[in-house]
Amino acid sequence: MPIGFFNLTGTTNAWGGGTFTSSRAITGEIVHVRLPLAGTAWTLAGSTADFTITEGLTGGTIIALTNVNAPFEYRPRKPISTDLGGTLAVSLGGSAVYDPAGIAVAGTVTMIVANCQQTIAGTAVVYYRR
């Protein structure tokens, strides 16, 4: 399956927050989220911020990051559950086992930022499998 990408771009408000939504609906799996070094405008060197990315159709969380600094790269994945939806499947070491597929999405994608620098433009790049 081909990989595409889109940018979540915007300027934070006077309190260092903001909501940025994709310009079009996305259908596929979110496989990678990147805030490039240029994104440090949002997270000034030595400071951190909070980023939550959600899917528009259901409002489900794709990824929620707290106190992170640019540059960063994350590959959001969901833990695998049992057939009954109960206890997570675990590895021999007791850690959760994660689905290798990305997070399913159908609709716009929104990023909410908090605790960023005030009135600063920035861009996050989101990669998805079509």
Domains (range + CATH), the chain: 3-129 (2.60.120.380)
Rg of the chain over all Cα atoms, to the nearest angstrom: 16
* Mean pLDDT for all residues in the chain: 85
Query: What letter does residue 87 receive in the DSSP assignment?
Result: S
C-alpha 39/C-alpha 18 separation (Å) is: 14
Per DSSP bridges, beta strands 26-35 and 49-55 are unpaired
What tens digit of pLDDT does each residue of 28-79 get? 999 999 998 765 678 877 788 999 999 988 888 999 999 998 888 999 887 7
